[in-house]
A = this chain, B = another copy of it.
Amino acid sequence: MKISEIGEFGFIDEIKDNTLFNPDPVVIGIGDDGALYKTTQGMEQIAVIDTMVENSHFIIGRTGEWYDVGYKAVASNLSDIAAMGGIPTHIVLSTAFRPDMDVDDVIALYKGIKDICRTYKVNILGGDTVTSQEGAVITVAAFGEIEAGKALLRSGAQAGDVVAVSHTIGNSGAGLDVMLHGADGYDELKKAHRFPEPQIALGRLLVKHHCHSLNDISDGLASEANEIAKASGVRLVLQYEDLPISEELQRWAAASGTQAGKFVFTGGEDYELVFTMSSADFAQLQAEFPAVTTIGTVEAGPAEVVLCQGGKRELLPAAGWTHF
């Protein structure tokens, strides 16, 4: 059945159940002009927004399915909240669909949205649905909270800090490349692209362990590291040999004749975290969250990122990795 056949109210009936996964702060959910919720005393509020456009951010049947799109539209927003050290609380969302979109596909999209919201105890407080003549457009605005004064920004990196990342980097970009080539296998890479995990728990540990600067990796490590360098007015020096790169990524790089660094530095949508902190604090963090890896250090100097590889030391521009 097509979405145009069930109409707006049919659509709302299909998706209105199972929207509150942490009902305590919610006064009014879906159904009135707006949603109404309470905030926690002593906490500051975080707001983020992100849009995914069909055939630009995803190609159904090739880079993912409708369920994934819903999951990822929320994941990218929760990642921005993780990148401030916050706790996500609610989302509102807007979807634009072609009139001939299949109702089952819409339900699959919303199942993806609801499943990740359930995992992170995030409420769906409301939404809007409109008709699009072209592909689907999904916009999610997410809210979160953080203890007043504790938000982790890009601007706090200090000379002497270590630079570190949450897990292996570049898997999502490599997974996209695998799917665009129609290659079998490489399930870890494909999963990284289709179901990225927002690093909420690590973000909270970074608050606890006095992290100085924090960013999530949505546009590739080169871009995100440069954002920290620019916002903080410091030089980040990264060691290529220290970068955590998965075995599958290395295998796909070899099979496809691509250098692994291309995926690490310019592959987007990892939704891992890159951060800087003192080495003593890093040791404490690592005891609680062993997956983290140092990849470099922070130096006083101009706002730039330098990459050391095989004894050579070259600038790493925000646009990516084209030097080696």
A145–B141 alpha-carbon span in the complex (Å): 17
**A157 → chain B, closest Cβ, in Å?**
13
A36 at the interface (CB under 8 A from B): yes
Closest beta carbon of chain B to A31's beta carbon, Å: 8
Oligomer copy total: 2
Q: Is A307 on the interface with B (CB-CB < 8 A)?
A: no
Interface-centre pick from A44, A51, A148 (highest chain B CB count, 10 A):
A51
CA distance A42 to B116 in the complex (A): 31
Q: Are B128 and A94 in contact (CB under 8 A)?
A: no
A151→B37 CA distance, assembly (Å): 11
Taking a contact as CB atoms closer than 8 A, the residue among B31, B96, B126, B216 that contacts A33 in the complex is B216
> Which chain B residue lies CB-closest to A218?
B33
Residue of B nearest to A151 (CB): B36
Q: Is A282 at the interface (CB under 8 A from chain B)?
A: no
The segment from A12-20, A77-85, A184-192 that touches chain B is A77-85
The smallest beta-carbon distance between A69 and chain B, in angstroms, is: 14
B57 touches A125 (CB 8 A): no
Per-residue contact bits, chain A 110-141, to B (CB 8 Å; 1 contact, 0 not): 00000000000000011110111111010101
Tell me the interface secondary structure of chain A in the complex: strand
The answer to whether A56 and B132 have CB atoms under 8 Å apart is yes
A266 at the interface (CB under 8 A from B): no
Q: Is A322 an interface residue (CB 8 A)?
A: no
Say whether A3 faces chain B, with CB atoms less than 8 Å apart: no
Chain A positions 136-193 with a Cβ under 8 Å from a chain B Cβ: 137, 139, 141, 143-144, 146, 148, 151, 153-155
| Given contact pairs A48-B92, A127-B49, A141-B92, A80 touches B133 in the complex (Cβ within 8 A) | no
Residue of B at shortest CB range from A45?
A: B37
Q: Is the CB of B51 within 8 A of A46?
A: no
B151 touches A27 (CB 8 A): yes
- Report whether B46 and A139 are in contact in the complex, using a CB–CB cutoff of 8 Å: no
- Cβ A153 vs Cβ B84 within 8 A: no
Known contacts A49-B92, A126-B49: A133-B56 contact under CB 8 Å: yes
Partner of A46, one of B31, B34, B44, B46: B34
15 more A-B contacts (CB under 8 A) besides A33-B216, A49-B92?
A: A33-B154, A34-B47, A34-B86, A35-B48, A36-B46, A36-B84, A39-B39, A41-B41, A47-B126, A51-B128, A51-B139, A53-B133, A55-B133, A56-B132, A132-B134
> What are the 4 A-B residue pairs with the smallest beta carbon separation, nearest first?
A134-B134, A141-B141, A34-B48, A33-B83
A residues apposed to B, CB below 8 Å:
27-28, 31-39, 41, 44-53, 55-57, 80-81, 83-84, 86, 90, 92-94, 96, 125-128, 130-135, 137, 139, 141, 143-144, 146, 148, 151, 153-155, 214-216, 231
